Structure 1
Amino acid sequence: MEEQGVHGPKPCGVTGNILEMSNLTSQSTSKDMETIHHDIVGRLLPHYVKWSKSYGKRFIYWHGIEPRMCVTEIELIKELMTKHHLVTGKSWLQQQGSKHFTGRGLLMANDRNWYHQRHIAAPAFMGDKLKEMIQSLQNAVNSGQKEFEIGEYMSRLTADIIARTEFDSSYEKGKQIFYHLTSLQHLCAQASKHLCFPGSRFFPTKYNREMKSLKMEVDRLLLEIIQNRKDCVEIGRSSSHGNDLLGILLNEMEKTRGNEFQLNLQLIMDECKTFFFAGQETTALLLTWTVMLLATNPAWQEKVRAQLKQVCNGAVPSLHQLSKLTVLHMVINESLRLYPPATVLPRMAFENIKLGDLVIPKGLSIWIPVLAIHHSEELWGKDVNEFNPDRFNSRPFASTRHFIPFAAGPRNCIGQSFAMMEAKIILSMLISRFSFTLSESYRHAPVVVMTLKPKYGVQVHLNPLDP
């Protein structure tokens, strides 16, 4: 890569640049932000800011023994995501880091396995399973409380929705799985600070023991749900395994495919864990950050409310009305731009590929810093760090790949439409029934724990519009 003009910071032995990255991030996030503003790239990606100033829009750094090339050039990113999706994917280090969390589910699948898993799982995200959740939202906000930690509530609500989508069961049945997966997520987030090499996961360290124990408990709970579903079919109580995600996966497992891709129980459990994380976590964060932004921008809150009244007249928006909520759509996009749940998109080359003017050798990981691209003054203008949903009113940013919260191309987020539908309905209910402002107790401190989160949650005051 140096021969092609791509340089980067000097690696330090087998740790590469991990220690410098860790030290820079620890320093930048050690204090909360003094005011609420959205210039957060230097806080969350300080190594990117430092190295891009020295080496430009493309540079090489080392995560332990894995070389990574950071790229922010839009045309290269567009080509990578659309042209090379089957010959790039998740690296060995990434798969090891999430081995006990999501295993080899869709997020970590590669090659033809990813293709098959994607097409098997897609139907589970096509139905409308959200209406029954709305009453739950109303009951909570009408309970008499004035201050809510909205992130915690959104997390419970989206967990309930994804539990029903996956298992057709209530949140109560899946909350143990959700609890353990949250603990696993925090442990996996530490993986980037640990050196990972072949065999290291077998060392009897406290970290490895905790990971293994949590994974075994999650797998045990999932096996109970799976076995119960299979028993119902075997004794004739049900004619199929169901049409939720678990049912679709179990029905697929029973099909014989010769030597082709074949599902097994472990892969089904990994898929369930993947969708519980991807379907619940990212949507909850999208809702939480959007509420924070609207709470600090009452004029936009009122614009959304006015359009909701015009389109829905106080009722729950139907599916065909959702497309008419253009102001809400712009607000959600701006929230995803400023606070994308996934701050980076990684892809490893599984064979030598030509990418623009570069030859990418097999084994090189390409890291796309989504957060930095979304906050690029060059791409978005002088007001890049301001909340301005109007920027999505005219220009088709998605087509130019400036805006990639759900990735892009064939390997984009499978649940994108589901997440947007879910977010619009929940936000519509909240905004049409309440005005809200940030509580004095809110502390602005975005952090990355695999995803971009508010460190202390988002506390808001809710005021009923129609007492």
Structure 2
Amino acid sequence: MAMVVLATLLVVFISLLFRVAYDTISCYWLTPRRIKKVMEKQGVRGPKPRPLTGNIMEMTSLVSKSTAKDMNHIDHDIVGRLLPHYVTWSQQYGKRFIFWNGIEPRMCLSETELIKELLSKYSMKAGKSWLQQQGSKHFIGRGLLMANGDDWHHQRHIVAPAFMGDRLKSYAGHMVECTDQMLQSLQNAVESGQTEFEIGEYMTKLTADIISRTEFDSSYEKGKQIFHLLTGLQHLCSQASRHLCFPGSRFFPSEYNREIKSKKMEVERLLMEIIQSRKDCVEIGRSSSYGNDLLGMLLNEMQNKRSGNGFSLNLQLIMDECKTFFFAGHETTALLLTWTVMLLASNPSWQEKIREEVKQVCNGETPCVDHLPKLTLLNMVINESLRLYPPATVLPRMAFEDIKLGDLLIPKGLSIWIPVLAIHHSEELWGKDANEFKPERFATRTPGPPFHSFCSRPAKLCWAVVCDNGGKTDISHVDFQVQLQHF
């Protein structure tokens, strides 16, 4: 009997070894080579990859050269600086080409009709790759931003009510209050004699404060520990994207892995404290619900078990959703606000137009949601800011099955990378003035606003506030430095 058990265990162990070996060979050799052959037959080629590292060394070299020189003046022609590999290879191979991130083949696609088809027709058949999910799982987990297929559909359905009209209107008070506090802190600094400010820090604090209150119904002071830990985790995880990912490397007891694990555990400990306090209030009868903010909605959904359809909403997923919206809800908005301030400061005529429009529409009242549709010039400026400086420089998707995209057969496992920044600066799409700040292009333009998506690293900007210019406060440009990287 013992021999039978031992033989069975040996067979199972050998079978597992063969399975792991086959999966590794398939992932790192067979599948990439199959994809390469399929795309070459369709005329899609690219730079020759090196063994294991692919084109990583070339990309690193091109980026190092493009960012070696400081930007001493405002120049919106930044595609060659941030995506030099795209500029180089698109000139050689056209609007569609293959490049290699280690052993992973990626097709760069900048044809707008094919992009539209991919994002609309195949939204359930293409999504975030395993590498993307691995790269971000420590700081946002498997929340909505990293979900695919049915999981994405169910999670979106659960959080959608938090962004409906009436609910958004209820957030307006928090937004105005937080903005008033930020403006008052700036005014106090100006009155004390300070003339130069890191405006990006103010915008980051402002948006983190707002998302703290709308997500956790708490102040920035209470949520800033989570905010700083998530920011640190984001930076650590972004470092991993610059290196090859070997199977099991995340389990190595390295200092890097230990630091990530420590920060992740601390974030989840703080989140569990907030969640437990909500549950305690309900259990002892202080409250009849878990609250009306995003966290309360998720806890109520888990309690009522309305999700169904085989989808399980548990505490880990609730924490992942909180981390996702805390990260995605403040950083992209902070970047948008920072770049918009920069553009208005360097274009005083538009700054004056926006100021006059706000005065006319609000007529001395506190800004509210009902005013927003009437601020047409401001909307034009925001769209132009998103076009010139999108929060995401690229938008990646992986095909989960073979799909037909226009005249292309996209094989299962191929990553498609959409160079959002390059598309936003394309002279073919936007005209010869594509690198100029011209909000009026959105007054009548038919293509609509630029891509809106998550993911970016902070922009570092330095500004001065000049006061008492005819009884009003102007924001003027003093110094300009950009440090943008996608992860």
- Structure 1 CA distance for aligned equivalents of residues 415 and 294 of structure 2: 31
- Structure 1 CA distance for aligned equivalents of residues 472 and 294 of structure 2: 32
Partner of 2:105: 67
2:451 matches 1:405: yes
2:142 matches 1:104: yes
8 Å contact from structure 2 (residues 159, 294) kept in 1: yes
Partner of 2:177: 132
- Structure 2 CA distance for aligned equivalents of residues 310 and 280 of structure 1: 29
Give SS of 2:289's match: coil
Partner of 1:436: 475
2:106 maps to amino acid: R
Please point out which of 221, 240, 243 is paired with 1:191. Answer: 240
TM-score of the two chains, using structure 2 as the length reference: 0.84
2:78 matches 1:29: no
C-alpha displacement of 1:137: 2.7
Partner of 1:383: 433
8 Å contact from structure 1 (residues 349, 363) kept in 2: yes
The aligned length equals: 421
1:188 maps to amino acid: C
Q: Residue by residue, what CA displacement relative to the aligned partner does 1:118-160 show, whole Å, maximum 9, x if unpaired?
A: 1111222332322332331332132142432211011101001
- Structure 1 CA distance for aligned equivalents of residues 73 and 189 of structure 2: 30
Please point out which of 293, 316, 319 is paired with 2:369. Answer: 319
Partner of 1:295: 345
TM-score of the two chains, using structure 1 as the length reference: 0.87
- Structure 1 CA distance for aligned equivalents of residues 436 and 112 of structure 2: 22
2:445 maps to amino acid: R
Return structure 1 stretches of 4+ with deviation > 6 angstroms: none
Partner of 1:280: 330
Q: What does residue range 116-265 of structure 1 map to in structure 2 within 5 Å?
A: 116-126=154-164, 127-128=168-169, 129=171, 130-145=175-190, 146-256=195-305, 260-265=310-315
Please point out which of 19, 25, 44 is paired with 2:82. Answer: 44
- Structure 1 CA distance for aligned equivalents of residues 178 and 272 of structure 2: 26
8 Å contact from structure 1 (residues 296, 438) kept in 2: yes
8 Å contact from structure 1 (residues 8, 61) kept in 2: yes
- Structure 1 CA distance for aligned equivalents of residues 316 and 102 of structure 2: 29
C-alpha displacement of 1:258: 5.6
Q: What does residue range 426-465 of structure 1 map to in structure 2 within 5 Å?
A: 434-439=473-478, 442-450=479-487
Q: For structure 1, list consecutive stretches of 5 or more residues without a partner in the other structure.
A: 408-412, 414-431, 451-467
Which one has more relative contact order, counting CA pairs under 8 Å at least 6 apart?
1
Partner of 2:423: 373
- Structure 2 CA distance for aligned equivalents of residues 358 and 109 of structure 1: 26
Give SS of 2:417's match: strand
C-alpha displacement of 1:259: 5.8
C-alpha displacement of 1:433: 5.9
C-alpha displacement of 1:77: 0.4
Identity, % of aligned positions: 70
- Structure 2 CA distance for aligned equivalents of residues 446 and 310 of structure 1: 37
Q: CA RMSD in A?
A: 1.6
Partner of 1:93: 131
8 Å contact from structure 2 (residues 346, 476) kept in 1: yes
Q: Residue by residue, what CA displacement relative to the aligned partner does 1:40-60 show, whole Å, maximum 9, x if unpaired?
A: 001101111111011100011
- Structure 2 CA distance for aligned equivalents of residues 62 and 367 of structure 1: 11
- Structure 2 CA distance for aligned equivalents of residues 133 and 258 of structure 1: 38
8 Å contact from structure 1 (residues 341, 405) kept in 2: no
- Structure 1 CA distance for aligned equivalents of residues 57 and 280 of structure 2: 51
1:106 maps to amino acid: L
Q: For structure 2, list consecutive stretches of 5 or more residues without a partner in the other structure.
A: 1-38, 455-470
2:477 maps to amino acid: L
C-alpha displacement of 1:449: 4.8
- Structure 1 CA distance for aligned equivalents of residues 423 and 361 of structure 2: 34
Give SS of 2:409's match: strand
- Structure 2 CA distance for aligned equivalents of residues 133 and 108 of structure 1: 29
Q: Residue by residue, what CA displacement relative to the aligned partner does 1:184-218 show, whole Å, maximum 9, x if unpaired?
A: 11112212211113211111222222211111111
Single out whichever of 315-324 and 262-271 deviates more from structure 2. Answer: 315-324
Give SS of 1:266's match: helix
- Structure 1 CA distance for aligned equivalents of residues 127 and 182 of structure 2: 38
Q: Residue by residue, what CA displacement relative to the aligned partner does 1:209-263 show, whole Å, maximum 9, x if unpaired?
A: 2211111111111111111111111111111111111111111122335661111
